[in-house]
Structure 1
């Protein structure tokens, strides 16, 4: 009796999706820990090759990551807080200028009516919201401490992230070997090949692109600081984060920086300097950062990244955002494999079917003659 195992695989996949949906409130620390283990595994493997034990290698990597995180928080949080206060003071003036100067100019030049396009309400809303931004940490803590259970859950999730990440990173190679042993023997080569392609895509995008984002954030922030822009760090970090989609960070950053430069300086020199900062950043990214950190490996298409993140957030919330890129990488690799199979099939090329039919007829003819 032949059993069609495809139904078992389909049922298992459906059950996994249902499980993620039901358990999403508790999955975040496990997924973040898994991401940390995935990002840190290459570095731990290098330390192992130098003769350091796996446990000590994981401990060193976690100690370094913890030190860098604490240092970044101590430096960036106060600076970003002060720049948000500056932004709070500047945004209402920007909106007033747009409402009182830019719109009348557009009306007189293009001879169109924009009387309904008033930004007074927008200005007041932004002013109120930006005024609350400085107390963001206090708001988060207040939300988390509204009840004892909420506080315990919040602290437990925060503590679980490094714990889960440490144990997964320590046993990462063993987990990979155990998973490979569970694969059907006749399908193992194909599955290993597809998983290798998924790892190549994720490695190129997550490990490489995250480092590119960090480097661009530093470059833009430093360059705008040298220009003298008050919001240099805020705009530079925003441009670096937006660089998760190639070229989006450039357009977001240069637009925000030019607007800020107009209101702070109002002269052509500083506008040219801002354009030069982002131009130099793009040159460094294309000639140095991307070839060095990402290489020539095929990453995810920008449209696929945007769709995956939005779809994951819509379906599963924050857990869906964490799962979006790995799932998108797997889907892309599977679609590429299906495309290759289709191109090599008779459904695509009729001559393949005719050739196969001719070989079959020839074999049957030879068999009859014998």
Structure 2
């Protein structure tokens, strides 16, 4: 096999250039990626409204408005619980400082690393540190909130534009190809749209199931605001492999802060461990995994690359984008090896299936002769 160092160099340079562009233009590309996925799931709604006689702009506006109403309704449902939790933050902070100070004093008594380490002194120093760092924390919070709302507005605008210009964008992409391949490009774009749509609808169903399971379990254990913590953990499961664990950390800490018994946090840990086991082995592969058709290696690599390039947004976006890349690569003979690497199908099974199909084709042809 002849190895062309020139082609390897160009491939590596293209990969590094692509990552550089993704990193430098993330302010624009993240809202674009979010808007593309949202437009995929809003496309059937928009098309249905258009069938009732509305034009594209009105249909796109009503589709986005319906999405905001659903999200706003969920936030309103949990608003009282969120306000009550925000009022308890100060008491949680005092309890955390007291617990950490007691732990440090106990450790220092057994393995002495500081002389005259006192509990009250540690608490006072911790409160002083938090008071001094509150200014920078407030500035970072304000900056993060401003960036979030700027990205949200950009996402809404891009979603609206994708919905009203979807026909023109599809035609322009089709006309890039030669005339005999335009129908093939159209089917490829439809498959990409279906992958994004099935992924988002599957995630929505998964969040509802996990939210109800978490909430009922927390309610049985006796945790306050069970539906808030249950659906918060379920929403964090959007980030595969990591999100469910991070979502479980919040109710575990809350149970530790609000109850005196150690068995309550242990019960919460057991609840989320059981739910995560069922979600990873049964629910996610059936509901979401079937729409992505990615193997575990490709999924983990997409999460790591997304996190390194775009942070949390990259962990959310790169997984469905990897599935769309698999659909794209599958349409080109030169890129089919990459599609096979990303796909979840076993090569040996594909080969046997093709052989069986070939035998059936031969039998049919022989029957017609």
- TM-score between both structures, scaled by the size of structure 2: 0.59
Matched, 1:170 2:169: no
Deviates more, 1:60-69 or 1:208-217: 208-217
- 2:97 and 2:126 in contact (8 A); partners too: no
Instruction: Classify 1:17/1:172 alpha carbon distance in 2 versus 1 (closer, same or farther; 3 Å).
Output: farther
**Deviation, structure 1 residue 312:** 3.3
Is residue 182 from structure 1 mapped to residue 181 from structure 2 by the alignment?
Answer: no
- Report the CA distance between 1:65 and its aligned residue: 1.6
Shift of 1:175: 2.0
Contact 1:31 1:322 in 2 (8 A): no
Deviations 1:32-66 (CA, angstroms, capped at 9, x unpaired): 43333222113223445566654443233122122
Equivalent-residue separation in structure 2 for 1:197 and 1:57 (angstroms): 23
Matches within 5 A, 1:129-208: 139-140=141-142, 159-185=153-179, 195=189, 198-208=192-202
CA offsets 1:53-106 (integer angstroms, 9 cap, x no match): 5444323312212223333444545533432443553355356546646996x9
State the 1:22 CA deviation: 5.0
Give the superposition deviation at 1:255.
5.3
Deviation at 1:244, TM superposition (A): 2.0
Give the match for residue 36 of structure 1.
38
For the 8 Å contact 1:309–1:325, the answer to whether it is kept is yes
For residue 45 of structure 1, the aligned residue among 44, 47, 67 is 47
| Counterparts of residues 311-322 of structure 1 (less than 5 Å) | 311-315=305-309
**Do the aligned partners of 1:204 and 1:299 also contact (CA within 8 Å) in 2?**
no
Indicate yes or no: 2:319 matched with 1:325.
Answer: yes
Gaps of 5+ in 2: 1-6, 342-346, 349-369
Larger radius of gyration: 1
Instruction: Give the structure 1 partner of residue 210 of structure 2.
Output: 216
Runs of 5+ unmatched residues, structure 1:
1-5, 145-152, 343-347, 350-370
Instruction: Give CA-to-partner distance per residue, 1:188-247, whole Å, 9 cap, x none.
Output: 576566555544543343332244235534553464256432464664344223312456
Structure 1 residue 297 corresponds to structure 2 residue 291:
yes
Q: Deviations over 1:106-161 (max 9, x none)?
A: 999xxx96969x9969x9389839x959x9699527985xxxxxxxx998765444
1:124 match: 126
2: CA distance, partners of 1:242 / 1:230: 19
C-alpha contact (below 8 Å) 2:40/2:196 kept by paired residues: no
Tell me, yes or no, if the aligned pair for 1:92 and 1:127 is still in contact at 8 Å. no
Partner of residue 62, structure 1? 64
Tell me, yes or no, if the aligned pair for 1:103 and 1:114 is still in contact at 8 Å: no
* Rounded Cα–Cα distance in structure 2 between residues aligned with 1:321 and 1:183: 32
- Root-mean-square deviation over aligned CA pairs: 5.5
How far did residue 338 of structure 1 move? 0.8
Residue 338 of structure 1 corresponds to 337
Q: TM-score, normalised by structure 1?
A: 0.59
Count, aligned residues = 323
